[in-house]
Structure 1
C-alpha cells in the first residue's frame, strides 16, 4: 500500500523512463486508498500532539484547540495546507529563496514535503511524524524543511513528482523528496511510516541515513541528482514538430481511443477498468463525442454502443456511494468496483467536469435523470463551495470529527450512517428508505471484498441505490413521483441531521483553472436545462432554480477572477487566491481552462465582454507558454529559476491537460473569426497536435480529449449558428435555448445585438461576415438565426421550429 522509497535506487526505472517520449507516458500519481485499522489507530492515537487540528477557523470542527506549543514560518502563509502545519515542531519554510539560502549557508540537504489540505495520507504523516518532537529534532538539526501546497504550486510539484515517478515507478501524496541546496533531488518517496516495519525503513531511519550519506558522500549525491534532472529534462524535451499532422492520425485517433476504452469497459457496474474506480469525465466526453460522430456519418446503429456505455456509467455512478445522495456532488473515487465505498474527499474539478458530461447526456437523451444529476452537483457547489463574492472554493476534506469535542478525525465520519440513526431521523418511512438505499443494521459495506477489507465501516452505511426509482416504485405499487418525493423528503431530514455533525475541512482556496471548469458547467447549464425539466420530478438535494441563476454564478466567478487574480496592465493571471492573491503566477491550465470557461460563458450567455477577455487571455497564453518553433504549450512561463523542469503536458486524467483544452480553444476561436486571425488559431492548433502525434497514434487512450480535438481539426466544415437581435428579449433567449436543445460539440454559437456599438465594432474587426449579418438582420425587426458552415449560411429563420428543423436535419456526409 505504501510507496516508500529505498535509499539508493537502482537506475532501471529511470532508464525505462528515459526510453519514453515524454513525461505523460507515466501513470499519473494517485492518492492512497483509505488506511488500515492499525494505521488509523496509529494516526489518531493520543500521543500528546495535536491530532489533525486545522489551522483555519473553517477547518476546526472538534471544539477549541489547546494552546499551540510551536509556531513556524508557515503561520504567515495563506494556503490552508501550509497553515495546517504552522504549529508543527518542524521548522518549516515555504518554498522560496529564504529556504534555499539557509540550506546553502548550513550546507545541509533540503527535505521537501508536498501535499494538499484535503489529502488523507498527508494528515496521517503529519500526525505520525511532523508533530513528533523526535522527528522534528532530526529534521531541524540535519535539514532545511520546506512545505509546499501542490494546488498552490503545481509547477514545483510537477518537477519532483516526475523525478519520483521516474526513479521509483510510482508516486502520490504526500510527496517526500530530499534535495541538495541547489534544488536537485537525490532521493524521494511518498508516505513514510514513522518507524521501521514490514521490512521497510521508517521515516526516522531514512532521515538518519540521508544525513549520514550527505556527510560522507555529498559529492556523489549532488552529481547523481544533477544527472537525473538532466536526463529527465532531455527525455521530456520535445523536438520541433513538423508543421503538418498526418491525416491518418487525425482521422484514426478518435476511433482508436474509443476501441481501447471499450475493451476495458465494465458491463456490470459501468466505468472503464477495475477498482479503485476514478471518475475520468474525459472518457465519457469521448464516448458521447464518438456517438455523435457516428450519427453524423450515417451510422446511427453503431452510435448506440458508445452512447449506452457512457449513459450506463453515469447512471451507476449516480446510484453509487461515490455520489453524496444527501448533500449532492461526488466524492473523489470509489475503492471498489461497484462505485460504492468512496474516498470521501470532494474536489471542485470533479464536480465541474461531471456536471458537464451529465448535461451532455441530458442533451442527447432528453432524460431528466441526467439533468437532475447536473443540478444535484451544481446546487451542491453553489451551496457549499461558493464564497460571498462568487469565488468557488477548491475542495472538502474526507476526514472529520465523529462528534463535537472529539480529539480525532475519521474518514467519512460526516457521510456514513448507522441504521439506528436513519430510523430515528427518517421516521415512519424508514423501511422504504432503508430498502432503497441498502441500509442494514450490520452496515452495508459488503458488496465487494474491496469495499471495507479492514472493517473500518462495520455497522456503518454508505447510501447506495441498487435499483432505480422506477423499478422500486413499481414493486411498491406507487407512482414514480410519489416514491421519489418520499425519498427526497427523507434525504432532506438526513441533510438537516447531518448539519449537526462536525463538518469536514473546507479548502477555501480559489484556483483559477478549477474555477474555469466550473464557469463552463454553470454557463452551459443555464441553457441546456430548461424550466420544464426543473419542475418535472426533482427532489432534494436538487433545490430547483431558474436557469439564469446558474449563469449568474458563472459570471460572478469570472468577475471575481478578473478583479482579484488578473492584472489589467500586463494581462497576466495569478494562480490562486486565499486572503489575497498567491505568489505563484498563472500556469498553462489556468489560462486554458479559464479561456474555455469564458468561451462557454459567451456562447451560452451572450455577453461580448467574456469573449473579448478570452481573446486577450489567449494572446497572453501564446506569449508566455507557446513553443513557437517546436509547437504546443509548456506548463509554466519558464521565468522562475527554482523550477527545474519545463514540460508539455498531454495526459487527460482526472483533469484534462492544458494542451488538450488549448487545442479545442484554438479550434473554437478559429471558427469564430475570419481571415488571418482564424488561420493563425488553426495553425497553432495543428502545430500543437503535431507535437503529440506519436501519443495520439500509439497511446490514444491516454489523451481522450486531445483525440476529440484531433477530430475537430479534421472536420472540413466549421458550423456556426449566428443569432441576431435584442439579447434581453424572450424571442432571443428562446432561439439560444433551441440551439442547445440538441448535442453538437462541433457547433459554435455567436450572439450579437446590432444595437450595441461595442459588439458591432468587435465583429467589424474580427469577422466582417458576422457584422454584415447583424446589419442585414435589422430589416427583420425581430430575432433572426443564421445556420452556417464556414460562414456560408442558409436563409435566415425567425421561428423556433424552423431553427430546430435546420439544426436537426438528417446528417449526411462522410
Structure 2
C-alpha cells in the first residue's frame, strides 16, 4: 500500500495498492520534489471516470512504468471531486494550452506547483497519433534535465497567463444585472443551437442541459414565451424516452455519446439527477405533463434507493463499468440487453414484449449486438408495461452492480436536498422530504463546524480534510432554503443565512462584487480559481447569487440583495455570447427581474386550509418565488423589528438554530395576521404587497400556479 491507504476518497483508494508511490496533494509532496530535484506528475480523475480506470490499468498498475515514475518523479494523485479548486486551476491551463480538457488529466509541475506540460489520457503504446505514456514521461525527464531554462520559461509564461485570466471577471465591476434585452438575447442564442428534432443543444456528445432548461422554464413563466417552453418540452421528452434515462430503475446517465440520446456514457452522478429531478418537477408544475411527473418521481426514488448512504447522505456516483456475464469488466454491462437475454429473464412472451417496448433488436444499439433500453412511444398496454418493467428490474438486480463512489460531497447533497424536498412536497411523498431532512442533518453534524465553516466531503460519517468551496456554501444554502419553504421550520433559514454570510465575508471581492471559488483563507494555489460559467453543475458564483437573492427576499436584507445583483452583472456579458454555459445565472436573473415574489402563508399547522394555501404557493411558477409558512402572530405588529431589513444570517444565528426547538424569526412572516380568523396568504413583489387572500384560486392567479 502506498500513501493513499488512509484516504477518504474512493478514487484515491482505488490507487492505494498501485506500484506507483503516490502522494496525496499537499506541501509534503512538493517539498519532496524540491529535495530530490525532480518534477511532479499530477494525475487528476474521479471514481466513476471510465478512462481513468483504463489508464490506471494500462499504466499505473504496470510495474515497469511505476518503477520509472518512482525514480524520476514525485507522483501526486487528486480526486477532482474532493479538490475542485486544484482541478479548476490546472484544467484551465490544460484547456488554454491544448484547446481541450477532460479526465484523466495529466499535468507535469515544477516543485513550485507551476505547470509546464499537459495532457489527458495517454495510451501504453503509441496509437491514433498519441504518444505512449512512457514516451511522454521520458520526454519530460529529458527536458527537465537537459533544458531546465526552457522548462522554467514555459512554467513562468503559463503562470503569467493564468494571472491575466484571473482579472477578467473582476473587470465587470459596476455592470448591471441582466434585464429584458439580455434575457431575450439569451433565448435567441439558445434557439440557434437548439436541435428541433432530437431536443437539446448542439451535437454529439449531448449533456443534459438542466440549468439551461431551468432558465427556459422561468423565462416562459415570466414572459409566456412558447419558444422557451417548446425547447424544454422537446428536450425533456427526448431524454426521458432515450437511452440516457434508465428505463428500469430511473435516473439519468452522465451524457449521451450521440446526438439522439440513445447511447449513454453510463456513469450516473448525484448532481445530474438532483438537477434533473427539479427540471422535470418544474415542467410538471408548469404543464401538468404526466411523463414529467413520472420521471421526477422515478429519479427521486433512484436517488434515495441507490445513492443513499447509511448515515443519511447521498453518494457521489455509480460507475459506468461493471462485470458482464463472461466476467469481463466493461462499460454498460449492467444496463444493456439482447433479445436472448430478455427471453431468458422473462420467458418468450414477456421477453418479446419487452424487446418491442424497449427497442431491443438483434442488431443492437451498443457493443456486441446489445441494446440500450429506450421507450420511444407510450405503451398501449400500461399493465403489461408495468409487469415487464418490474420483472426486468428484478432480473437486472441479479447482475453484478456498478461500483459506487460513496463519498458525500456537500454541494451535491445540497442540490439533492432541494430536489427531494420540493419533489416530496409537491407530489405528496413525505418520505422524500424526510430523506432530504436526513441528508441536511448529516451535513450539520459532520460537515459544518461550530464556526459555521463547511468541509467538502465525508465518507462513512467521517469528514475529509478538504475545506468547502463556494459551490458547497451556495448549494447547501439552496438546499436549506428549499427545506424552509417546504417545512416552515425557521432553523433552516437561519442556517442558510449563516452560510451566505460566510460567502460574503470570505469569497467575495468587495471592489468588484465578483466571487472566488475558494475562501480568502484557503490554501494558496498558483492562482485563486474563479469562474462564473456552469459546467456539470451550477457555478458556485451563480448558485451563490440565486441563494443570496432568495435569502434577501425572505429577510429584507439589502446587503444580501445587493450582493446578488452585483454577482449577476457577469451574466449580462455572457447572456448573448454563451447562454448555454450560464443557465443558472440566467435563471437567477429571471427571478431578480420578476421580484422574486415573496409569499407568506399564515395559519394553524393542523388546519387543512393552511395546507392548501401552502401547497398552492409551492406550485408557483413565478421565477424564484420564495415561500414562508408559519403560525399567525398573536398580536398585530409583533415582530416588526425583525422586518426592519437587517436580515443577516448572523442575526438569525446558525449556531443557535442547530439547538432543538430554537427557532429563528422570519421577517417575511412579521405582521401577518389571519384573515377573518382564516388562514391567509400574502404576496409581495418589488417592495409592494397585495391584499391578503384566503382563497387558493386567487393566490394561484397571483403566482401562476394551479390550485393545490
Indicate the TM-score class for this superposition, using the shorter chain for normalisation.
over 0.9
Question: Structure 1 residue 687 and structure 2 residue 557: aligned?
Answer: no
Conserved in 1, the CA contact under 8 Å of 2:643 and 2:670? no
The alpha carbon displacement at 1:786 in A equals 1.6
> How far, CA to CA, are the matches of 2:681 and 2:217 in structure 1?
26
The alpha carbon displacement at 1:231 in A equals 1.8
Question: Structure 1 residue 576 and structure 2 residue 419: aligned?
Answer: no
Given candidates 310, 317, 320, the residue that maps to 1:388 is 310
Question: Structure 1 residue 567 and structure 2 residue 567: aligned?
Answer: no
Conserved in 2, the CA contact under 8 Å of 1:364 and 1:743? yes
Alignment of 1:158-557 (within 5 A): 158-238=88-168, 240=170, 244-246=174-176, 249-295=178-224, 303-403=225-325, 406=327, 408-427=328-347, 428-440=349-361, 442-445=362-365, 452=366, 457-469=367-379, 473=380, 483-530=381-428, 547-557=429-439
The alpha carbon displacement at 1:239 in A equals 6.5
> How far, CA to CA, are the matches of 1:176 and 1:727 in structure 2?
56
Question: Could you list the runs of 5+ residues in structure 1 that have no partner in the other structure?
Answer: 1-70, 296-302, 446-451, 474-482, 531-546
SS class of match (1:148): strand
Conserved in 2, the CA contact under 8 Å of 1:241 and 1:687? no
Match of residue 143 from structure 1? 73
SS class of match (2:143): helix
The alpha carbon displacement at 1:243 in A equals 5.8
> How far, CA to CA, are the matches of 1:772 and 1:383 in structure 2?
36
The alpha carbon displacement at 1:320 in A equals 0.5
Conserved in 1, the CA contact under 8 Å of 2:19 and 2:60? yes
C-alpha distance 802-231 of structure 1, shift in aligned 2 (>3 A):
closer
Conserved in 2, the CA contact under 8 Å of 1:397 and 1:504? yes
TM-score (norm 1): 0.80
SS class of match (1:331): coil
C-alpha distance 711-809 of structure 1, shift in aligned 2 (>3 A):
closer
SS class of match (1:577): strand
> How far, CA to CA, are the matches of 1:310 and 1:644 in structure 2?
40
Deviations 1:539-587 (A, max 9, x none): xxxxxxxx1111111111111001000012x110001111411111000
Given candidates 485, 497, 506, the residue that maps to 1:603 is 485
> How far, CA to CA, are the matches of 2:382 and 2:42 in structure 1?
51
Deviations 1:271-305 (A, max 9, x none): 1111111112012112212212222xxxxxxx222
Conserved in 1, the CA contact under 8 Å of 2:622 and 2:704? no
SS class of match (1:187): strand
C-alpha distance 125-744 of structure 1, shift in aligned 2 (>3 A):
same
Match of residue 54 from structure 1? none
Conserved in 2, the CA contact under 8 Å of 1:279 and 1:654? no
> How far, CA to CA, are the matches of 1:252 and 1:714 in structure 2?
11
C-alpha distance 193-613 of structure 1, shift in aligned 2 (>3 A):
same
Deviations 1:211-267 (A, max 9, x none): 1211112233123212211221112224655764347x5222211111111111112
> How far, CA to CA, are the matches of 1:145 and 1:415 in structure 2?
35
> How far, CA to CA, are the matches of 1:203 and 1:655 in structure 2?
31
Conserved in 1, the CA contact under 8 Å of 2:591 and 2:625? no
> How far, CA to CA, are the matches of 2:272 and 2:405 in structure 1?
15
SS class of match (1:635): coil
SS class of match (1:359): helix
Question: Structure 1 residue 706 and structure 2 residue 585: aligned?
Answer: yes
> How far, CA to CA, are the matches of 2:44 and 2:183 in structure 1?
36
For this pair of structures, how many residues does the alignment match?
685
The alpha carbon displacement at 1:668 in A equals 1.6
Conserved in 2, the CA contact under 8 Å of 1:331 and 1:345? yes
Conserved in 1, the CA contact under 8 Å of 2:247 and 2:375? no
Alignment of 1:746-785 (within 5 A): 746-754=624-632, 764=642, 777=673, 780-785=676-681
> How far, CA to CA, are the matches of 2:176 and 2:686 in structure 1?
23
Conserved in 2, the CA contact under 8 Å of 1:113 and 1:177? yes
Aligned alpha-carbon RMSD (Å): 2.4
Deviations 1:592-618 (A, max 9, x none): 111111111111221101011001110
Conserved in 2, the CA contact under 8 Å of 1:238 and 1:630? no
Deviations 1:648-690 (A, max 9, x none): 211123211111112222222222223xx2x212221222233
Deviations 1:148-201 (A, max 9, x none): 000011111111111111111111000001111111111010000112234432
C-alpha distance 705-763 of structure 1, shift in aligned 2 (>3 A):
farther
Match of residue 692 from structure 2? 796
SS class of match (2:555): coil
> How far, CA to CA, are the matches of 2:583 and 2:525 in structure 1?
29
> How far, CA to CA, are the matches of 1:773 and 1:144 in structure 2?
58
SS class of match (1:74): coil
The alpha carbon displacement at 1:424 in A equals 2.5
The alpha carbon displacement at 1:204 in A equals 0.6
> How far, CA to CA, are the matches of 2:209 and 2:675 in structure 1?
48
